[in-house]
Chains A and B, each alone.
Chain A
Amino acid sequence: METIIFYILSLVILVFSVLTVTTKKILRAAVYLLFVLGATAGIYFMFNYNFLAAVQLTVYAGGIVVLIIFSILLTHQINTDLDKINIKKIALGIISSGLGIFLVLSTLNNHHFEASNKQATDSTIHGIGRALLSYSDNGYILPFEVISVLLLATMIGAIIIAKKVEE
């Protein structure tokens, strides 16, 4: 059962990824991206990382995609078809991506990963919260604080950059 669900999710991810980067309508691309992100959240659920999946859905699917759609609206791109891309560029992209896929996959297949049998740690929201705010060896209080400062700076920076310049 899980195998089938995984295959379905993988299929969704790959198909909609391709559609995202090839579709002519920009709004559709955003929607396809939303599906990809949703499917990714599904994979997180399958790993039993529920909190991470929830974050993925709220921040990525809920936040970033909405932000992207807003920017599409603000830049009046909603009805315009994207320009035709010249064939040379596509060829270059396909060749380098294909080569990359080939190289990475062949490397991966030659490599054996030692799967661990150790007991998984607690991945409940309770445990995550503790780990985030703990300053012991397995605590993440420092990156947590740093990222909060980063988000604040980003907020200010985004406002400064995007605000209308007074003539």
Chain B
Amino acid sequence: MEFSYTIYIALIPFAVFVINGLFGSKIKESFTGYLGVAGMVVATYLSYFTAYHYFFKVGKAVDGAYQKVIGFNMEWLRFTESLHIDIGVLLDPISVMMLVVITTISLMVHIYSLGYMKGDKGYSRFFAFLSLFTFSMLGLVVATNIFQMYMFWELVGLSSYLLIAHYYQKPSAVAASKKAFIVTRFADLGFLIGILILSYLTGTFDFNILCNPEGPAFMQSSSAVFLGLSTMGWALILIFMGGAGKSAMFPFHIWLPDAMEGPTPVSALIHAATMVVAGVFLIARLFPIFAIVAPNALEVVAVIGGFSSIFAAVIACTQTDIKRILAFSTMSQIGYMMLALGVSGYGAEAGLGFMASMFHLFTHAMFKALLFLGAGAIIHAIHTNNLSEMGNLRKYMPITHITFLIACLAISGIPPFAGFFSKDEILVAAYNHNQIYFWVEWIVAGLTAFYMFRLYFGIFWGKEKKYEHTPHEAPFSMTFPLIFLAIASAIVGFIPFSNFVTSDGLPFDIQMHWEIALPSIGIAIFGIIVAFVFYKKESDLPNRAVASFGSFYKYALNKFYFDELYLFVAKKVIFKRFSSPIAWFDRHIIDATMDGVATITNYIALKIKGLQSGQLQQYASVFVSGVLLLIVIFIYLISV
């Protein structure tokens, strides 16, 4: 088959994982890192080649739309004639784009980790899990059916768990990994139920059939109605629940900030660029069903995305841990993508939001990975995460400084950096759909610029703090990915994305909407100026601003007490009101019944144990007595 080589994009990282995982302790440590990088170089080359091959050579069908190509397929479990689980590679614009994003970021993170993790105790383990993650994520995006996607979905959750707990001696890292796993698992419960309902209604797992506008999914639109929504709508909302869990959307966002306990390259790869956008990818993959069959469900996606974006942006303004600021920023940006999907319609021009979402996913992966890797370089240099212990680092770390600045400009949406173009498209799509969304996102754009430049000025300007030793620029293995990603962040915005990735495969052209772009640039610059005034020099302006916000600031600083709320619900309500009575019932009624049976048996056994004394003569006398008794019975009592 033409694209059969694409299976190796996923299999090469898997092979690296197997080698590093099984023999990591046997072979030389540095070799495991180089092996990981080499594997990623090959996979990256292959995915770039695939992208070229697909977009420019063979992807287009006769009518000019990009078609779905099955690169490789293998039947794995067959239930009925139409319902079977396959393992395969599905190539379409979004999966090819994701292949490029994942392999690029993963390669950069691998190279970066060569320097960042040097001397770490779990060096080979780290690289093994990194490869496992890359494999799972690639398997996820090329999934041909929703069940394969679900399996790899869980695999990325697992590798995320393993990597967050990389420093497993630290109790906080272990707690964070458990939290991430349990919260996403809980959300995946909804995903699984959604899959079951969906496959029950349509009789298939296959994306090609599911997303086909003439397919069985679209015949279901008039099916049973439950609580005002069709069954299909509920199935899709449940599937979105899984996506919201993985993408840290409100109300499943609580795990993402804690996940920053993992090593910084992991945060860059998993919790910024790739895994957390899996939820967006999931919605995008099922987009035709969402858009046509259940617009209500899509509205839910938009509301959740919009709320998450402003919610996270507000919190991000108050945090002091630089990685947590970035984590909330990630959540906010993913909210953007979700919102863009939610406001989109199906079709070329109407599907602007879809295209904008994918575009933002693409650019966001670049600049957010860059931000995390830059933060990693800073943490590497001065061994702290705390913003208040940083200042005036620009003269020590020039490369980090410049690349970080580029990333900040990109995320703030300043032209001509990448973020401007994608964010602009999202705003246009929101504006066309509903003005409320537009104004919310407009405010979020300002907040984004503010908190990113608060971070920037706080780290690189301001008063110089006392450092344990003089900070130094990171080694080349770490600065190379920074430079590469900075260049990418600067230029990827010029890619005519709408020519490649659209909701129905048909390319279209977009125009610049300056009437929308200008206000967004304006508020971004306003945010930057506020940050400049507040944080460029030491001043008491921030404190006065805090005072004027009063208790609202306190709520935001404590992330609106969601962790506490969940703990309260889990401990006081679920554990105390439901679990402990059930546990009591189990222990005192069910267990006690079984214990009673055992006790009685035991008691009887103890009583009759004496019969089995081992004394031969006792047995003999019982035998003789028995015989005599039989004689009496049979000769004198019965046969009279």
CA gap between A103 and B628 in the complex, in Å: 8
Are A92 and B621 in touch, CB under 8 angstroms? yes
Known: A89-B617, A93-B621. 4 other contacts (CB 8 A): A92-B621, A96-B628, A103-B631, A104-B631
Instruction: Bits for A93-113, please: 1 = Cβ < 8 Å to B, else 0.
Output: 100100110011001000000
17 contacts between A and B (CB under 8 A): A89-B617, A92-B621, A93-B621, A96-B621, A96-B624, A96-B625, A96-B628, A99-B628, A100-B624, A100-B628, A103-B628, A103-B631, A103-B632, A103-B635, A104-B631, A107-B631, A107-B635
Contacts of A99 in B (CB 8 A): 628
Contacts of B632 in A (CB 8 A): 103
Contacts of B631 in A (CB 8 A): 103-104, 107
Contacts of A103 in B (CB 8 A): 628, 631-632, 635
Name which residue of chain B comes closest to A100, CB basis: B628
CB distance from A22 to the nearest CB of B (A): 16
User: Which residue numbers of A lie inside 8 Å of B, CB to CB?
Assistant: 89, 92-93, 96, 99-100, 103-104, 107
CA gap between A107 and B631 in the complex, in Å: 10
CB distance from A42 to the nearest CB of B (A): 29
CB distance from A122 to the nearest CB of B (A): 37
Contacts of A100 in B (CB 8 A): 624, 628
CA gap between A107 and B625 in the complex, in Å: 17
Contacts of A92 in B (CB 8 A): 621
CA gap between A103 and B632 in the complex, in Å: 8
Contacts of B625 in A (CB 8 A): 96
Contacts of B628 in A (CB 8 A): 96, 99-100, 103
Chain B contact residues: helix, strand, loop or mixed: helix
CB distance from A107 to the nearest CB of B (A): 6
CA gap between A40 and B349 in the complex, in Å: 123
Name which residue of chain A comes closest to B635, CB basis: A107
Name which residue of chain B comes closest to A97, CB basis: B624
CA gap between A103 and B627 in the complex, in Å: 11
CA gap between A92 and B635 in the complex, in Å: 23
CB distance from B122 to the nearest CB of A (A): 55
Instruction: Bits for B608-640, please: 1 = Cβ < 8 Å to A, else 0.
Output: 000000000100010011001001100100000
Contacts of A104 in B (CB 8 A): 631
Name which residue of chain B comes closest to A95, CB basis: B625
Contacts of B621 in A (CB 8 A): 92-93, 96
CA gap between A40 and B309 in the complex, in Å: 114
Contacts of B635 in A (CB 8 A): 103, 107
Contacts of B624 in A (CB 8 A): 96, 100
Name which residue of chain A comes closest to B621, CB basis: A92
CA gap between A99 and B630 in the complex, in Å: 13
Contacts of B617 in A (CB 8 A): 89
CA gap between A24 and B621 in the complex, in Å: 22
Name which residue of chain B comes closest to A107, CB basis: B635
CB distance from B623 to the nearest CB of A (A): 10
Contacts of A93 in B (CB 8 A): 621
CB distance from A34 to the nearest CB of B (A): 25
Contacts of A89 in B (CB 8 A): 617
CB distance from B616 to the nearest CB of A (A): 13
Name which residue of chain B comes closest to A102, CB basis: B628
Instruction: Bits for B33-77, please: 1 = Cβ < 8 Å to A, else 0.
Output: 000000000000000000000000000000000000000000000
Contacts of A107 in B (CB 8 A): 631, 635
CB distance from A96 to the nearest CB of B (A): 5
CA gap between A99 and B631 in the complex, in Å: 11
CB distance from B640 to the nearest CB of A (A): 12
CA gap between A99 and B636 in the complex, in Å: 14
CA gap between A97 and B617 in the complex, in Å: 14
Contacts of A96 in B (CB 8 A): 621, 624-625, 628
CB distance from A92 to the nearest CB of B (A): 6
CB distance from A121 to the nearest CB of B (A): 33
CA gap between A8 and B233 in the complex, in Å: 112
CA gap between A100 and B624 in the complex, in Å: 9
CB distance from A98 to the nearest CB of B (A): 11
CA gap between A89 and B624 in the complex, in Å: 14
CB distance from A62 to the nearest CB of B (A): 29
CB distance from B440 to the nearest CB of A (A): 92
Closest 3 CB pairs of A and B: A96-B624, A103-B631, A100-B628
Name which residue of chain B comes closest to A93, CB basis: B621
CB distance from A5 to the nearest CB of B (A): 33
CB distance from B145 to the nearest CB of A (A): 70
CA gap between A89 and B615 in the complex, in Å: 13
CB distance from B388 to the nearest CB of A (A): 81
CA gap between A96 and B618 in the complex, in Å: 13
CA gap between A93 and B624 in the complex, in Å: 10
CB distance from B405 to the nearest CB of A (A): 88
CA gap between A159 and B631 in the complex, in Å: 40
CB distance from B527 to the nearest CB of A (A): 93
CA gap between A99 and B628 in the complex, in Å: 8
CB distance from A162 to the nearest CB of B (A): 20
CA gap between A92 and B615 in the complex, in Å: 15
Name which residue of chain A comes closest to B627, CB basis: A100
CB distance from B17 to the nearest CB of A (A): 57
CB distance from B636 to the nearest CB of A (A): 8
CA gap between A93 and B621 in the complex, in Å: 8
Name which residue of chain B comes closest to A89, CB basis: B617
Name which residue of chain A comes closest to B631, CB basis: A103
Name which residue of chain A comes closest to B617, CB basis: A89
Instruction: Bits for B133-159, please: 1 = Cβ < 8 Å to A, else 0.
Output: 000000000000000000000000000
CB distance from A89 to the nearest CB of B (A): 8
CA gap between A100 and B621 in the complex, in Å: 12
CA gap between A93 and B625 in the complex, in Å: 10
CA gap between A27 and B393 in the complex, in Å: 110
CA gap between A99 and B617 in the complex, in Å: 18
CA gap between A100 and B632 in the complex, in Å: 10
CA gap between A96 and B625 in the complex, in Å: 7
CA gap between A104 and B631 in the complex, in Å: 9
CA gap between A107 and B639 in the complex, in Å: 13
CA gap between A104 and B624 in the complex, in Å: 13
CB distance from B539 to the nearest CB of A (A): 95
CB distance from A97 to the nearest CB of B (A): 8
CA gap between A104 and B617 in the complex, in Å: 22
CB distance from A11 to the nearest CB of B (A): 26
CB distance from B610 to the nearest CB of A (A): 16
CA gap between A138 and B631 in the complex, in Å: 34
CA gap between A100 and B631 in the complex, in Å: 9
CA gap between A100 and B623 in the complex, in Å: 12
CB distance from A21 to the nearest CB of B (A): 13
CB distance from B243 to the nearest CB of A (A): 75
Name which residue of chain A comes closest to B624, CB basis: A96
CB distance from A133 to the nearest CB of B (A): 38
CA gap between A107 and B632 in the complex, in Å: 10
CA gap between A96 and B620 in the complex, in Å: 11
CA gap between A107 and B628 in the complex, in Å: 12
CA gap between A104 and B628 in the complex, in Å: 9
